[in-house]
Structure 1
């Protein structure tokens, strides 16, 4: 294991932060896998899973079982970890700018990357893939970050730019285990969903937020469309894993999730061994555009009528809003058959507050599909 420490641009006088990454295996010996945790710094279950994964990878490397390269960033957001106001985390948004740490990630333009490769494109898909990855690395190396937030994002993208598999570990507020990926990545991601026990799989080519996982697959889609008949290897695989809810921090859950990721890497040949048989897929993948987004119709005390992770039928009650001044009780029901995969953690809601989501088979939403 090699430890790499990348200094971030200092925000002010007398302060310095760094991003720490751990590098396992041998570059170029096989697939490169990039794993990061807690880009939203207050999503700590992901961090514990990454710690368990780090221990497993160190053992596997010592046993000589790595057949590729794994780059692991257990603490992907040291900036957000430092943001506390009256004892509360502000790990989702950067305090100076207000920007979400996992939105609007920068990537070189597809046209510029094609021009960078120039006349070197070949008729071999694997060769072209490596040419494109090298061009991405070169253009990112030419970028200059002007502040700490930009340097964090540039460092993360640079570490992952030439990966064949990108795993971005998160969690939700209160949630069941679920994941987000693209339709193109889904066939390769399905074994991971089975091993990790995903209770929901949400698919979108472009959810509209330029989140960390999507920028990699979107870039390849754009390059592939512009190249036409010039071949590229299979699109790089990217997925966001939601490790339940923010309070679901336990050794058992973290070990289970780390073991599932290891099984996935064994199955891909990144780790030598025989992967265990695939468990059943708990629920079929559904379009992110089919998930029903609940908002509070009024202010009041929230009483959930459905448990997180439950499979609901259209018309089932999801939650009540209780107004203790007027005695009004407003019940919200679902229009979808699907999994109640995440919900709000605070039990008081203002009118219009986001309250939770139920997956659905039929796509009906358009535009930006993810929240702030």
Structure 2
């Protein structure tokens, strides 16, 4: 049986002086050459299913043939976890700054070109070691040498990012409002998506927009491109550049299901088996039809009016053009107008998620749908 270590990491302080802490679990693999993994959950307050998945992973990993190191962090954002309003958990945005908690990570692309010039002829191992050290020092400098200080969210994000930069593979576990399971996957890592038991994949460009997955794969992608521009060819996803990061959307927020979480954990183990992090061939991807599309074709449908919404479209199933996604009830029109209004689209789509409440204002995001999709 594999043993794990547990530490409690302080990520900030409350006004009373109380420490904000998160638990950090770690397994040590037996093969130094195997890929290492970082998994975190619950960066957004209501997105709690990832904690159940980490629980199931901790249970299963103790009995795996573990090759690479694995670090797991549930309750990644203690402020968001505890941000309640009545019976609802909020915690998607920093209540002080209004910034999305998952848009505060750091990447400064200006460090790439000087690094490549300095290590243009270095060995692959030296490039990997030195660049990882650079990324870690960038985060350390943000944490320790910021003249003007850090926001609470930055302080939390940078300490999580410090752990993530020490890994080759990063999985950031999230959920939607009312949602199907889906995967945000870098375009270059498309081949890896079929090793998760997730039917829908959104392929994201190799650009940084502040999220954890981007903060951990974009630096390596930018480095690979810079070397290629100077005539040294590397392939992203192989060798020294075998770096992959995903946002794994596990369904709907504000609920956990330990049985479903075990299936999600098995899905992750299937991917880790493919990557050689574990050597347990019983963990294989399920046979299923997997659809993918590009982020530019992942569209939001906004409500044309206020009202009470009946969400009609099923998740994960192609919806034909003209078929209604919702019907909106307007009781104020009853008796002297149309009380029911149907909303549809002029193209076939796959509905992925919808708004959590039936009560919407005009302009509320009703659904997010995948257009121009294809089979993986």
TM norm. shorter chain > 0.5:
yes
The corresponding residue for 2:345 is: 334
Compute the displacement of 1:28 (Å): 3.7
Q: Secondary structure at the match of 1:22?
A: strand
Q: Name the count of aligned residue pairs.
A: 354
- Is residue 51 of structure 2 the alignment partner of residue 43 of structure 1? no
Q: 1:283 is matched with which residue: 269, 286, 290?
A: 290
Q: 1:244 is matched with which residue: 225, 240, 251?
A: 251
Q: Residues of 2 paired with 1:362 and 1:261: CA distance? A: 24
- Is residue 312 of structure 2 the alignment partner of residue 305 of structure 1? yes
Q: Residues of 1 paired with 2:23 and 2:59: CA distance? A: 16
The corresponding residue for 2:329 is: 322
The corresponding residue for 1:184 is: 188
- Is residue 368 of structure 2 the alignment partner of residue 357 of structure 1? yes
The corresponding residue for 1:173 is: 177
Compute the displacement of 1:279 (Å): 2.8
The corresponding residue for 1:367 is: none
Q: 1:56 is matched with which residue: 57, 60, 65?
A: 60
The corresponding residue for 1:205 is: 205
CA distance 1:28–1:9, change in 2 (3 Å): same
Q: Say which is worse superposed, 349-358 or 51-60, in terms of deviation.
A: 51-60
Q: Residues of 2 paired with 1:91 and 1:180: CA distance? A: 21
- Is residue 115 of structure 2 the alignment partner of residue 112 of structure 1? no
CA distance 1:209–1:111, change in 2 (3 Å): closer
The corresponding residue for 1:91 is: 91
Q: Say which is worse superposed, 135-144 or 38-47, in terms of deviation.
A: 135-144
The corresponding residue for 1:366 is: none
Q: Tell whether the 8 Å contact from 1:110 to 1:223 is kept in structure 2 after alignment.
A: no
CA distance 1:335–1:234, change in 2 (3 Å): farther
Q: Residues of 2 paired with 1:256 and 1:175: CA distance? A: 17
* Structure 1 residue runs of 4 or more that deviate by more than 6 Å after TM superposition: none
The corresponding residue for 2:262 is: 255
Q: Residues of 2 paired with 1:139 and 1:277: CA distance? A: 38
Q: Tell whether the 8 Å contact from 1:111 to 1:223 is kept in structure 2 after alignment.
A: no
Compute the displacement of 1:190 (Å): 2.5
Structure 1: gaps (5+ residues): 364-372
The corresponding residue for 2:222 is: 222
CA distance 1:207–1:91, change in 2 (3 Å): farther
Q: Residues of 2 paired with 1:147 and 1:209: CA distance? A: 18
The corresponding residue for 2:146 is: none
The corresponding residue for 2:237 is: none
Q: Residues of 1 paired with 2:134 and 2:162: CA distance? A: 12
Q: Secondary structure at the match of 2:300?
A: strand
Q: Tell whether the 8 Å contact from 2:171 to 2:245 is kept in structure 1 after alignment.
A: yes
Q: Tell whether the 8 Å contact from 2:179 to 2:353 is kept in structure 1 after alignment.
A: yes
CA-based RMSD of the aligned residues comes to 2.3
Taking structure 2 as the reference length, the TM-score comes to 0.87
Q: Residues of 2 paired with 1:4 and 1:247: CA distance? A: 27
Q: Residues of 2 paired with 1:37 and 1:165: CA distance? A: 15
CA distance 1:266–1:283, change in 2 (3 Å): closer
Structure 2: gaps (5+ residues): 144-148, 235-239
Q: Tell whether the 8 Å contact from 2:195 to 2:284 is kept in structure 1 after alignment.
A: no
CA distance 1:153–1:45, change in 2 (3 Å): same
Q: Residues of 1 paired with 2:38 and 2:307: CA distance? A: 43
Q: Residues of 2 paired with 1:170 and 1:24: CA distance? A: 22
The corresponding residue for 2:127 is: 128
- Is residue 156 of structure 2 the alignment partner of residue 152 of structure 1? yes
Q: Tell whether the 8 Å contact from 2:173 to 2:247 is kept in structure 1 after alignment.
A: yes
Taking structure 1 as the reference length, the TM-score comes to 0.88
Compute the displacement of 1:75 (Å): 1.4
Q: Residues of 2 paired with 1:129 and 1:313: CA distance? A: 48
Compute the displacement of 1:205 (Å): 0.7
CA distance 1:29–1:312, change in 2 (3 Å): same
